[in-house]
Every structure is written in C-alpha cells, then in structure tokens.
Amino acid sequence: MKTKLKTDEKIILEVQLHWFTLVVPFLIGTALVVGGIFLIPFGLILSAAGALLILYKLIERKNNLWTVTNFRIVDEKGVLSNNSKESPLDKINNVAYHQSFWGKIFNYGNVEIQTAAEIGATTYSMLENPARLKDTITQMQEEYKQLQARKQAQEMANAMKAASQPPTVDIKEELEKIFELKMKGILTEEEYNAQKTKILSR
C-alpha cells in the first residue's frame, strides 16, 4: 500500500483483481507478438506493442489494491498516476459480495460497499477472494467499535476520577497571601500563625 499508515494503524488484508482480468490482455498481447514476427516492416512495432500491453496490465493489477486496516479501507489504483480512496470503518453501513458459478469455482466475484457518504454504494468487480474481503471488513468493524467503546469508558473513568479528587493547592502561594495580609495589618500575629499551621498541615 502506498498510502501512509496512521498512528497505531496496521494492515489486515490486501486484495487485488483476480488473475482472470489478465486473460484477454494476455491473449491480445500474445497475438500481437506472434503476428508481428510474420509482418514486415511493422512486425517489430506490433511485437513491442503486444509485449508492452502484457507488461502494463501486470503492473496495473499489482497497483490496483484494496487494503483493509484496523481503521479504514483504502482503494488504490493507477500506473502512471496515483489514485486513492478511503472509507473509514465507522462510515461503512453494509458490505455484500456476489459470486457467479464460475466465480465460485475460481474464487472471484464482486464486492459492494455501502457507506454513509452521498455516493451510496460502490461495487468493485472481479476481485479475488471476495468472501474473505467481506468477512475481514465486518470483523474489523466490530473490533473498531469495541476499541472506541473502551476508549470512551477510559475517558469517562478518568474524568470521574479527576472530579472526585480535591483540587490541588499551591502551598507557597497560600503562604504568600497570608503573609501579605499580616504585613498589611489585616491579620494579627496569632491569626497569621494559625493560618500558617493550617496550610502546612494539609
């Protein structure tokens, strides 16, 4: 994943397009390479184009990733450019997947993610192991909710503990105040000594 991880964030699962997506480009590229061998003078150009097509699709598949972390889902794609889209776990309302007959056999399918955003549901097609992706997202959502609940409980406990403790008193500041009162004649020597003893005994 190219996207920088946040503090305490870790990658749980990475999913890419199924290798079936390479079949058609591979066949076309191979046909261009083989056909270029028998064509003069454009054979070299066709062969190079076929090889580049295959190489581009391989790199494109490698860079087209869906990453599940303990905080969010990151969708990255692009070869000559970088495109990234993320969905926080707490903003995802529903995750579903669909596999056709051949999808079950070769383990590929479509995954639909519904978020609280205005765009609604987003469907990702021809992903490898869609069931695992769906289950991982659901599991991480549950763990994220539990983590947030623990954080809120700890914050509440800390707040209640702080409220139950008496405010700290700056002894030096209190002594200076009664000394000033004594110097101004507001407190007698006896009253000053009594206040001083009271402050020091806290």
* Cβ proximity of 31 and 92 under 8 Å: no
Residue 83 located in a structural domain = yes
Residues 98 and 61 in one domain: yes
- Whether 50 is in a domain gets the answer yes
78, 112: one domain: yes
Structural domain boundaries enclosing 78? 11-162
Of the candidates 85, 90, 84, 98, which has an alpha carbon nearest to the alpha carbon of residue 137? 90
Residue 27 within a domain:
yes
Q: Is residue 175 part of a domain?
A: yes
- What is the value of pTM for the model shown? 0.69
Q: 93 and 182 share a domain?
A: no
134 and 178 housed in the same domain: no
CATH label of the domain that carries residue 122: 2.30.29
2 located within any domain: no
What are 90-120's pLDDT values in tens digits? 888 889 999 999 999 999 999 998 887 655 6
Q: In this structure, what DSSP letter does residue 6 have?
A: P
Do 142 and 176 belong together in one domain? no
CB 29 within 8 A of CB 51: yes
Core vs surface per residue 175-197: b (16+ CB within 10 A) or e: eeebeeebeeeebeeeebeebbe
What's the rounded Cα separation, in Å, for the pair 100 and 133?
Answer: 17
* pLDDT for position 120: 66
Q: How does pLDDT run across 21-75, given as a tens digit for each residue?
A: 888 989 998 888 887 777 766 778 888 888 899 999 999 889 888 999 999 999 8
Coil, helix or strand at residue 170: coil
Given a contact cutoff of 8 angstroms between Cβ atoms, the answer to whether 47 and 32 are in contact is yes
Q: Are residues 175 and 130 part of one domain? A: no
Q: Are residues 191 and 95 in the same domain?
A: no
Assess whether 95 and 194 both reside in one domain. Answer: no
Q: Per-residue confidence at 180, pLDDT binned at 50, 70, 90?
A: confident
Residue 60 lies in a domain: yes
Count of the separate structural domains present in the chain:
2
Task: Provide the residue type at 59 as one letter.
Answer: I
Within-domain flag for 19: yes
The answer on pLDDT for 4 being more than 70 is: yes
Is the N-terminal amide bond of 41 cis, ω within 30° of 0?
Answer: yes
Q: Are residues 141 and 195 in the same domain?
A: no
175 and 158 in a common domain:
no
142 and 68 in one domain? Answer: yes
